[in-house]
Amino acid sequence: MLPVPTLDHVFDARIAVATPYEVGATSAGARRVIAITGGTVSGPALSGRVLPGGADYQTIAADGLTQLHARYVIEAGDGARIYVENTGLRFGPPEALERLRRGEPVDPGLIYFRTAPRFETACPHLAWMQTSLFLATGARAPDHVALSVFRVG
């Protein structure tokens, strides 16, 4: 048997977001864009802040499945910058998804929210982030997204 992958906690992020705006129903599903206005990152392998200017581009299927595609930049405590491209899925019972849509709090245990972030950086001491796979769990609050990011070992 081959080695079983492990998960090593890298950081937690609290990503501040603006009010979503709806693009409308397209042939691919309902489109929504959510601007990223800032945030914080802290953990055993990385601490810093989320820079304003990114966004999450979402596609919502008729059954409520949301495909997430966020792009933003983290600035580490030492000034190094990391480009993040984070894709994933969010799904749950219709009533919980409707509460999320209205901006109401929802128990994160009711929602399947998983992502696979990829990182790019010009900083040599963070190059390991470009040669590893990562998984994250998430939770949506009215004004922010919380992520816990893990390196797959």
Tell me which residue of 70, 64, 78 sits closest to 124, measured CA to CA. Answer: 78
| Single-letter residue type at 103 | G
Q: What is the pTM of this model?
A: 0.94
Is there a domain that residue 146 lies in? yes
Decide if 2 is inside a domain.
no
15-27 as b/e: b if 16+ CB within 10 A: bbbeeeeeeeeee
Residues 107-133: what's their mean pLDDT?
A: 97
Tokens of 5: 């992958």
On whether residue 1 sits in a domain, the answer given is: no
The answer to whether 45 and 74 are in contact (CB under 8 A) is: no
pLDDT of 142 higher than 90:
no
Give 6: exposed, middle or buried? Use CB within 10 Å, 0-12, 13-18, 19+: exposed
What Å distances lie between residue 65 and 26, 107, 151, CA to CA? 15, 17, 25
% pLDDT > 90, the chain: 90
Q: What is the pLDDT of residues 18-73, one digit of tens each?
A: 999 999 998 889 999 999 999 999 999 999 999 999 999 999 999 999 999 999 99
What pLDDT is stored for residue 132 in this prediction?
97
Amino acid symbol at 62: A
Domain-embedded: residue 93: yes
In this predicted structure, what is the pLDDT of residue 136? 99
pLDDT of residue 104: 87
C-alpha torsion sign, points 43, 69, 85, 87: positive
- pLDDT band, very low/low/confident/very high, at 103 (cuts 50, 70, 90): confident
Residue pair 133/151 in contact (Cβ under 8 Å)? The answer is yes
User: Given phi > 0 = left and psi -120 to 50 = alpha, else beta, which region is 125?
Assistant: alpha
- 131 within domain boundaries: yes
Rounded Cα distance between 24 and 60, Å, is 10
Question: Which residue matches tokens 């601490």?
Answer: 47
> H or E element: which one contains 124?
none
Whether residue 95 is contained in a domain is answered as yes
Residue % of the chain over a pLDDT of 70: 100
CATH number at residue 105: 2.40.160.20
The count of structural domains within the chain is: 1
Q: What is the domain range of residue 120?
A: 7-152
pLDDT of 135 above 90:
yes
